[in-house]
Each structure stands twice: as C-alpha cells, then as structure tokens.
Amino acid sequence: MSPDRFRECLALLHWSQRGLADILDTHPTTVRRMATGDATIPDSVAAWLEELAAAHRARPVPAGWQRRAA
C-alpha cells in the first residue's frame, strides 16, 4: 500500500491518523510515518484498511439521510 492510498483509506473511513493510532494501540508518530512514507505499512494493516474501505464504499450513508448544514 502506498502512503497516498493509506491516506485515501483513512479519509474514506473518516478516520484521523491519531484515531487510527488509538485503534491500533500504537504511537501517533508511527502512523504519521506510515502516512508520509517514512515507515512501511504492514501488510496486515494495509489489507485490513482495504477491506474496511471496500465495505464503506459498498454500504454508503443511507439515501435521504440529512447531512449537517454547512
């Protein structure tokens, strides 16, 4: 997984890098380094994020749901 795709998956899931660090129980710097390409994204994390992103695409917000006013 490229750093760009890593960031795309986080954006699709509406997760921050800090939020992912909390979920993975790791230091935020570790996730930040993955997002910038300064650290390798583990295959298990990459596969998990891809699965979640695919599920999110397959199950978008229900039609007719009101979004927050801008």
- What is the C-alpha separation between 29 and 17, in angstroms, rounded? 9
Residue boundaries of the structural domains of the chain? 3-58
What are the tens digits of pLDDT across the range 4-21?
Answer: 999 999 999 999 999 999
Mean pLDDT over residues 26-40, rounded?
97
Q: CB of 36 within 8 A of CB of 28?
A: no
pLDDT tens across 39-53, in order? Answer: 999 999 999 999 999
Q: Report in angstroms the alpha-carbon separations of 37 from 13, 15, 19, 31, 61.
A: 20, 18, 18, 10, 31
Determine whether 8 is exposed, middle or buried from the number of CB atoms within 10 Å of its CB (0-12, 13-18, 19+): middle
Give the confidence band of 60 by pLDDT, cuts at 50, 70, 90.
confident
- Please give the pLDDT value at position 69: 66
Q: In CATH, which of 1.10.260, 1.20.1260, 2.60.120, 2.60.40 is domain 3-58?
A: 1.10.260
